[in-house]
Structures are given as C-alpha cells and as structure tokens.
Structure 1
Amino acid sequence: FGMFETMTSAFIDEFPHLLKNRKVLFTAFFCFIEFLLGIPCVMQGGIYVLQIMDWYCATFSLMLLSLTECVVIAWIYGTDRFYKDIELMIGFQPCLWWKICWKYITPVTIAFVWLFSVTQLSPVTYGKYEYPDGAIVIGWMLGLVSLMPIPICAILAILREKGSFYERIKKLVHHTDDWGPAVEKHRVRYLQSLQNSQESLDSVMCHLY
C-alpha cells in the first residue's frame, strides 16, 4: 500500500488540475495497470520473471534511488528545513539522532551495501537454470528504467532555465514560490518559518562579512 500510494500521490501532486477530482478513478486505473503487469508473475513461468525483477531491480536500482533520496533531502533540501516540515506535521521536531542518520549513517550504509552488491553481482540464475543473454539484457533494462527519470528530468530542467550553468543549478536547488503546504493556515506558518530562517542566516552572514 505504501509504495502504491506513493506512486499515485506523485502523479496527483504533479497534475492536480487534471487528477485531484478524479483520484478514485485514477487509483482504479492504476490498480488495473498493475494487475495486468502482475499477470506474467503468476503464470507457469512467473517465478523466472520474478527472479529477474528481484535480481536486477531490488539490489541495483533500489539502492541507488534510496541513496539519491538521502543525499537530496539531507544535503540539498537540508535537514533543518526537513525538521521544520516534520514539526509542522506532528507538532515537534525529531531528536538529533535522526539528523545524524539522514546525513551520515544511512547514506554511508546504503553506499556500502550497494558497492558490495555490485561487486558480487553475477548473471541471473534460478537454481540450476541459467538465463539466456536476452533475458539478462531485459533484466538490466528493468533495473535502469526506474533510474532514468532522475537524470532525464534534471537535464530537461537545466535546459529550460536561463543564465549560466551555475546560475541554473543555483536556481533549481532553491524552492519555488508555490512550494509548501496546500492548507492555507499551515502554509502561512511554513512561509513564516522560512522567513525567520532566512533572516537568521542573513544576520549571521552580516556578522561574518
């Protein structure tokens, strides 16, 4: 349920004018698509299909996606801002332990596990059955297809911006004007906290320079 809700919410948040009032219909459509995609896994040779997916998707791409998420949230978006987001939702900030995990322990652990998995990676097998070369190619394609949207969307976003490469990157890593909670009262509190943080940062910079 968690993974399914993440996918549907991502589309609904990205296209609210088109899907917000059609959430039930869109969810039903998504369920039907995933039902069709799951049929090959329950047929007579389904275990071989499932083995390919598990071999190349669960170890290779999933770890890279998790590492990217940790780096973006902890080092680009910022743990302090993420703390404020959580505080807005639950009423208090998490303890310092979580910040240490997000910034250091979790990324290092994921990177270590991924590197170990890659160095030990061998062509997919199931028992004594060895897959043909075509099946191995399909496995790598399945593993890479979930990673491709990240560099593709990043390149498109950079190309659409104006200015030098550095100016484009600097603008893209900052939040947009419409970023924040959808509920108005929560949005006011959120923007106020951002303003206070920016004023504190400006004050520190003035004392430094």
Structure 2
Amino acid sequence: MSRHSQWDSSLSFIFAMIGAAVGLGNIWRFSYVLYSNGGGTFFIPYLIAIAIMGIPFLILEYGVGFSFKDSFSNIMRKINPKYEFVAWALVLFVFIVTIYYMVILSWDLIYLLASFTFNWGTDTAAYFVQNVGGSSNLSNAGFLLIPTTVGVLILWVIIWFIANRDVDKGIGKVSKIMIPALFIIMGIIIVYALTLPGAGLGINTLLTPDWGRLADVNIWLAAFAQIIFSLSMGQAIAITYASYLPENSKLIDNVLIVVASNSLFEICTAFGVFSILGYMSVTAGTPMTQLVTEGTGLIFVVFPMIFNIMGPIGRILAPLLFLAILFAGVTSALGFLEPMLNSTAEKLDWSRKRTATVLAIIGCAFSLLLTTGISSYLVGIVDSFVNEFGILILIAVQCIIFAWVYGVDRFLDVLNESSTFTVGKTWTFIIKYLLPIVLIIMWVSGIIKLFSTAKSFEIIIDLIIIASVMAVAYFMTRIKQPEEDS
C-alpha cells in the first residue's frame, strides 16, 4: 500500500487547515449573510453555531483522521464495508466543489489582470456578463467565454503542480506562504477601508441590530449554514489533513486556532467590505440597499465600480483585493481536492503524482464545461445543489456513523492525550444527539427551498449530478483494493 503522507509539523497542518477554511465565502458571503440576517443580532446565533457545531464537529473530524491515519474511504470501510459508498459519495460531491470553484477562481484571475488597467470600463455589470460570467440565457450555452476558459486551464495546471507533490512539500509549503500573505493583504485593505469617508455609515448599516429577528428560525439556519460552509466542515478535508499529523499533536488546540483564525478573518473582512460600500454610498449618492449584494455581484460588479471612483488608491486596492481572493481560493481548492486524491490513491494503489494528474485532467475537463456563455448560471445551480442537498445530508450521516456505529467515546483518549483543552460528556452529547438533529432540520429546509423554486433546467442538472455521483461511488466501492489492509 502507498505510504501515508505526513506533515513535518503541526504548523504546516494549521496553515493548510486555515487555508482550506478561509475561502471565497469568507470574503464575499459572510458580510452579506451578517447584513441580511439581523445585523449585529446575527452574532448571537453565529457564536452559538460555532460553539455547538463548528468546534465540536471539527474536533470529531480531527479525532477520526488522527486515530485511523488512513484515507476517508478506507476509514469508512474499516467501520463497516457498507459505509464505503457513503465515503465515495461525499468525496465526489467535494470534488465537484473543486470543479466549479476553479471557474470562480478563473473569473478572479481575469479581474486580477484587468485591475492593472481597469479594463472593465464604466459598465462593470456588462463587462462581467460579456467577458467573464455570462448570463442565464440558455441560448448562450453554445459558445465559450474564452478568458474564463483560458483562466481555468492555467489554474488547473497550478493546482496540479502543487497537489502532485507530497502534502508537506506541496500544500504545506504553499499554505505557509499564501495564508500569512493573505492575512497581511486583507489587513492592509481593511485598515485603509476603515479610514474612508462613509466607513462609519457602512459599519452602522452592517451592525444595526434587529432584535426581533432572533425569533426567526431562518436566522439560526443561516448561522449554522455559514459555519458549515465557512469551516469546510464535514467535507472529509479535516479528516484527511488530520490523518497526516505527526504523533503527540495537540488536536483540540489546533481546532481552536483554526476556528478563531477563520472567524476573525471573516468578521474583519465584513468590516472592510461595508466600509468600502459606505464610501461608495457617500461619494456616489447611491443608497446602501442598492449596493449590498452577495457573492460574485459584490466582488465582480460593485467593487470594480467603487475602484473606478476611488482615484489612485483604487489602482492599488483593486489588484490587492483580487490577489487576496486568488490566494484564499487556491488554498481552499487544494483542500477540496485532497479527500478525493487521497482516497483514490489509497484505493487504486496509485502514486500521488499519478492520481493528481488523472484527477486534474478529469476536473479540468468538467470545469471547461462551466465556461460557456451561461457560466455563472451553471455555477450557481451546481453550488446550491451540492451544498444544500449532497454535502449536508452526508455530514449528518457521518455524524451518526461516527457517534453511534463506531462510538464517539473511542476518540476521547486520543483527543485529550496531548491537548491543553479536553472534551468529555458535553461534547459526546452534542455529537450524538444535538448535531444530527440540527443537520437533518437544515437539510429538510434546504431541500424544500431548493426544489420549490427550481426551474426544469435546474432540476435536470441536479438529477445528472446525483446520478453521476451515485454511479461513480458504486463503481469505486466495487473495485477490490490491490492489497486489503491487514
């Protein structure tokens, strides 16, 4: 069997985990979620979600990965051969995340290059539709958005170049450079943003509490969803990365460092984003409500518009912002790819280099399908379905398997052995009872929301994804491993 990789230190692991957690969602999703879910009031469900879901589940994942020191599919097979199918379904869904994530990163790469000349012009929305993301008009599906296509090819080569090396020399080394660089760049942007005229208006708009919203169940679901997506929870990334840890690692301490870094990053970034939106509101006389948008609209339409009116400082901030997004995206994409890479290499007894090459070719081919004239529409459909349907239910299933079938108490010794902080009955209770219930409620509400608004084209795409995942998961489960573990 191929030798299981190992980090050279806990520091490589911590930077890689922060890299996997801190991604595009922290930069462009969190500020919108905070604003649209009761402002300052949202911090209450957000902090509770971290305490009862983010930290406990990551502790479980670290315990599982560190105890078994194996790939996710092998871990599930060791617990019960029937569960290997669940493992493959999950790592395939996470691999699909890598596929569309690379397309979004390609958009960012285009904007990074455009930011040196402000190529996007005055109509930033038209530039995005015509050159980068396309529209939802299905008649545009027949042609490629060439800049996006070229960007995808370049980025897949970069990801392959890093991923085909041993984890420590590839992901570990890149994370140690990119994550500190990302934090420094965002720090510069945030500090400058806070000095802009109108920053106060932006932050007040962001934080103004709406206490009545606390009774709204949707606010709580939004908080739990943000924690899952923000920490890349339950996606086998933490289990895979933790399986590479050296002996005597302080598992629980590492969880707390990663969660704190992730939350501080997204909260500080939200202050920066809204300070800049406040500046735009004051300078251009545009009401804040018209400027606040989520995701790609915020970063690729509103922000270039703001940089246009900023003068010389906009010429500095624009490349910095798009470079920060690129760093955050690359380290996250490596995290999304790793569970599939590790499980496939162990299953087929392939070298890491061979597995990374095959997966990069397959991943790149599918990413290219998402660079047509309906690129952003397709990415949106796949993103919603994979997260709301696939990953959520599989996190709940994992929780039940590790807690009830394998027995969560079996991880206590390994978790507490070298850690400064320890876990016990409260943690066990959360994993066994509280989390499965919360996750299943979230899944049901997500499914209702997803399918009550879905158009027939979107449902066809969803069905293709589910059929493909089930077929490949079944195929991978049926393959006999070259050497069964003794």
Tell me the TM-score range normalised by the shorter chain: 0.5 to 0.7
| 1:67/1:107 contact within 8 Å kept | yes
From 434, 437, 445, give the equivalent of 1:105: 434
Correspondences of 1:169-208 after superposition (within 5 Å): 178=486
Correspondences of 1:85-164 after superposition (within 5 Å): 85-86=414-415, 91-92=418-419, 94-96=422-424, 97-122=426-451, 131=455, 133-143=456-466, 145-146=468-469, 152=474
Q: CA deviation at 1:54?
A: 2.0
2:460 corresponds to which letter in structure 1?
V
Identity %: 18
Q: CA deviation at 1:56?
A: 2.1
Q: CA deviation at 1:36?
A: 1.6
Match of 2:361 in 1: 32
Q: CA deviation at 1:177?
A: 7.5
| 1:61/1:144 contact within 8 Å kept | no
Match of 1:70 in 2: 399
1:110 corresponds to which letter in structure 2?
L
Q: Provide the TM-score with structure 2 as the length reference.
A: 0.27
| 1:75/1:103 contact within 8 Å kept | yes
Is 1:41–2:370 an aligned residue pair?
Answer: yes
CA distance in 2, matches of 1:56, 1:139: 6
Structure 2 unaligned regions, length at least 5: 1-333, 479-483
Match of 1:202 in 2: none
After superposition, give the CA deviation of every residue in 1:138-168 in whole Å (9 maximum; x if it has no partner). Answer: 3123145435677x58x97xxxxxxxxxxxx
Q: Compared with structure 1, are the counterparts of its residues 140 and 111 closer, same or farther at alpha carbon in structure 2 (3 Å cutoff)?
A: same
Q: CA RMSD in A?
A: 3.2
Match of 2:342 in 1: 9
Match of 2:110 in 1: none
CA distance in 1, matches of 2:430, 2:406: 15
Q: Compared with structure 1, are the counterparts of its residues 40 and 75 closer, same or farther at alpha carbon in structure 2 (3 Å cutoff)?
A: same
Extract structure 1 runs of 4+ deviating beyond 6 A.
none
Match of 1:80 in 2: 409
2:462 corresponds to which letter in structure 1?
G
1:49 corresponds to which letter in structure 2?
L
CA distance in 1, matches of 2:430, 2:465: 30
After superposition, give the CA deviation of every residue in 1:125-144 in whole Å (9 maximum; x if it has no partner). Answer: 5xxxxx4x354223123145
Q: Larger relative contact order (C-alpha < 8 A, sep ≥ 6)?
A: 2
Q: CA deviation at 1:98?
A: 3.1
Match of 2:232 in 1: none
CA distance in 2, matches of 1:73, 1:2: 22
CA distance in 1, matches of 2:354, 2:344: 13
CA distance in 2, matches of 1:47, 1:144: 23
Task: Tell me the number of residue pairs that the alignment of Structure 1 and Structure 2 aligns.
Answer: 146
Q: Compared with structure 1, are the counterparts of its residues 9 and 148 closer, same or farther at alpha carbon in structure 2 (3 Å cutoff)?
A: same
